Amino acid sequence: MTKRLEGKIALVTGASKGIGAEIAQRLAAEGASVAVNYASSKQGADDVVAKIKAAGGKAVAVGGNLADPKAATSVVAETVKAFGPIDILVNNAGLYEFAPLDAITPEHFHKHFDLNVLGLLLVSQEAARNFSKDGGSIINISSGASTITPPNTAVYTATKAAVDAITSVLSKELAAQKIRVNAVNPGMVVTEGVKAAGFDGGDMRTWLESVTPLGRVARTDEIASVVAFLASNDASYITGEALRVTGGFR
């Protein structure tokens, strides 16, 4: 594999498992030194770091729950302390819990928006202050839900529609710093979180696969490869985009 990210410094939020863990490992395989952020699963983050190091890469685990506004500062500071100015930020930390309109509460709303939107904004703000003078790339992990708009997901889908809008806005704000900002919008990916929610089998997956032109759900590496592309100079003239990786379902 050509190491497109040789010498680059990357921070991946929510990288102790699932898509984030796969992204961290892919960026490291492409040559980046990676800060693997985690909120609660230090063991998961340490495992990801160990895998990266075993493959000859550089990584460090960085704790911080980005639902806490103070965490953005410490997570970025630890990354810079370990490796130097940032070239790549992947905003992957997020959560999803579905609820019909009648079950939505202020707590449900704030739980999602505090992490999926405010957390993303604050860590992007802090990272942008600590980016390399040569610029770089911010990749926001959004969701196919932002345009597919499934029932019973009003709050979660609203956070991801906000992420798409923020991506477009920041691509214009940060262009002068040579920072490109794009979103990746995955369809269903079978991760630990999806399995824990019971979505990896049963009616929901059957329906999704039936309406997806490629006829299946995604693998984590199929999301990570798109992130690696957007982080690299191969995507040097791409900014402000939300790239659906949904197997054709829209």
Q: Which residues are catalytic?
A: 156
Whether 141 contacts 91, CB under 8 Å: yes
Tell me how far apart the alpha carbons of residues 165 and 68 are, in angstroms, rounded to a whole number. 22
Tell me how far apart the alpha carbons of residues 165 and 208 are, in angstroms, rounded to a whole number. 25
Among candidate residues 188, 189, 184, the one with its CA nearest the CA of residue 90? 184
Mind spelling out the 3-state secondary structure of 199-233? CCCHHHHHHHHHHCCCCCCECHHHHHHHHHHHHCH
Residue 99, CB-side half-sphere exposure with 13 Å CA sphere: 16
DSSP 86: B
**Residue 132 identity (one-letter amino acid):** S
Using left for φ > 0, alpha for ψ between -120 and 50, and beta otherwise, residue 247 falls in left
